């Protein structure tokens, strides 16, 4: 019995801790209203309409892209894979109207990048310094660094907060915020660099131009003529200028941290 309770508890913790990625958002149909009447979602999210009235309503897109009659107590779920604005109404009660706004791919990336550092329970509990920066560019950088590139895998020692390693059964994922991206991970015998801002605010002490050259060519400005042997620059160097700008902007906004003296080893 206690094992069942522990399992249910772990399941609930897991379900409320899903931070970003695709979600299903609810619209209640109650008292002859769609609530919320206007809902903004990410590309790929689903919307679930739940009819709480005692009468049948429909969810009918204004141009008839879709329509569904929902009997009392029933629900209807639809996934949105195309950006845009979708107005709908109830065909039985035309005064009932609603709208789903689906973010563009770029807006979706920005939104998820922002959620990673702002929405509780935070996957990455750090405070970003947005002073003098374009917040959307910083949040896009958060998405690229955290959700796409796995920079923390090699640049945070340890990658996950103690007790929050998702590879360990029952632990809920949370990144190590204290020394986030401060380096000190030994990868194939090479220790990764501290990417946090230096005293002048430059991430890893690099200007934007140096940062881009390093990711595009693998040349370390401190050691001319040498390639970074481990860093996956041949991959990251293919990113658009726009995306590298976003990474740089994000790295400029994360908290300063000192590299842990005792190195971690990748994968341990």
Applying CB under 6 A, among 41, 124, 151, 177 the residue interacting with ligand HEC is 151
Do you find a cis peptide bond into 36, omega within 30 degrees of 0? yes
Residue 140 interacting with ligand HEC (CB under 6 A): no
129 exposed, middle or buried (CB, 10 Å; 0-12, 13-18, 19+)? middle
- The site string for ligand HEC over 185-204 (x = CB under 6 A, - otherwise) reads --x--x-xx-x--------x
- Residue 118 or 186: the one with the smaller Cβ distance to ligand HEC is 186
- Side by side, which strands form the sheet with 24-30? 33-35, 24-30, 46-51, 75-79
Could you tell me how many residues of this chain bind ligand HEC (CB under 6 A)?
Answer: 24
Contacts of 51 (CB under 8 A, 6+ apart): 29, 57, 70, 71, 72, 73, 74, 75
Applying CB under 6 A, among 164, 228, 255, 259 the residue interacting with ligand HEC is 228
Contacts of 252 (CB under 8 A, 6+ apart): 129, 133, 197, 201, 202, 203
Closest Cα to residue 89, out of 81, 79, 99, 77? 99
Residue 254 interacting with ligand HEC (CB under 6 A): no
Applying CB under 6 A, among 20, 43, 47, 214 the residue interacting with ligand HEC is 214
Q: Which of residues 6-35 bind ligand HEC (CB under 6 A)?
A: none
Residue 145 interacting with ligand HEC (CB under 6 A): yes
Task: Please tell me whether residue 231 adopts helix, strand or coil conformation.
Answer: coil
- Residue 76 or 211: the one with the smaller Cβ distance to ligand HEC is 211
Applying CB under 6 A, among 26, 129, 149, 165 the residue interacting with ligand HEC is 149
Applying CB under 6 A, among 107, 208, 230, 237 the residue interacting with ligand HEC is 230
> Do residues 161 and 176 make contact, with C-beta atoms less than 8 angstroms apart?
yes
**Residues that bind ligand HEC in the complex, under the rule CB under 6 A:** 145, 149-151, 153-155, 187, 190, 192-193, 195, 204, 206, 211, 214, 220, 228-232, 236, 247
């Amino acid at each position: 019995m206690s094992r069942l309770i522990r399992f249910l508890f772990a399941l609930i913790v897991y379900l409320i801790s899903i931070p970003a990625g695709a979600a299903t958002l609810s619209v209640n149909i109650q008292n002859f209203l769609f609530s919320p009447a206007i809902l903004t979602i990410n590309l790929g999210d689903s919307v679930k309409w739940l009819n709480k009235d005692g009468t049948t309503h429909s969810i009918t897109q204004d141009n008839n892209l879709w329509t569904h009659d929902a009997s009392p107590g029933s629900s209807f779920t639809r996934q949105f894979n195309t950006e845009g604005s979708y107005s709908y109404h109830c065909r039985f009660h035309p005064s009932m109207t609603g709208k789903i706004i689906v973010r563009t791919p770029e807006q979706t990336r920005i939104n998820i990048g922002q959620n990673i550092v702002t929405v509780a329970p935070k996957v990455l509990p750090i405070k970003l310094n947005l002073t003098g920066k374009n917040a959307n560019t910083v949040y896009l950088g958060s998405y690229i660094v955290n959700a796409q590139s796995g920079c923390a895998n090699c640049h945070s020692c340890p990658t996950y907060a103690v007790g929050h390693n998702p590879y360990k059964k029952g632990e809920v994922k949370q990144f190590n915020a204290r020394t986030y991206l401060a380096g000190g991970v030994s990868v194939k015998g090479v220790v990764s660099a501290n990417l946090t801002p230096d005293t002048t605010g430059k991430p890893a002490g690099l200007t934007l131009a140096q940062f881009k050259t390093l990711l595009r060519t693998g040349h370390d400005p401190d050691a001319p003529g040498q390639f970074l042997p481990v860093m996956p620059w041949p991959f990251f160097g293919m990113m658009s200028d726009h995306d590298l700008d976003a990474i740089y902007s994000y790295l400029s906004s994360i908290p300063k941290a000192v590299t842990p003296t005792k190195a971690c080893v990748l994968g341990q």
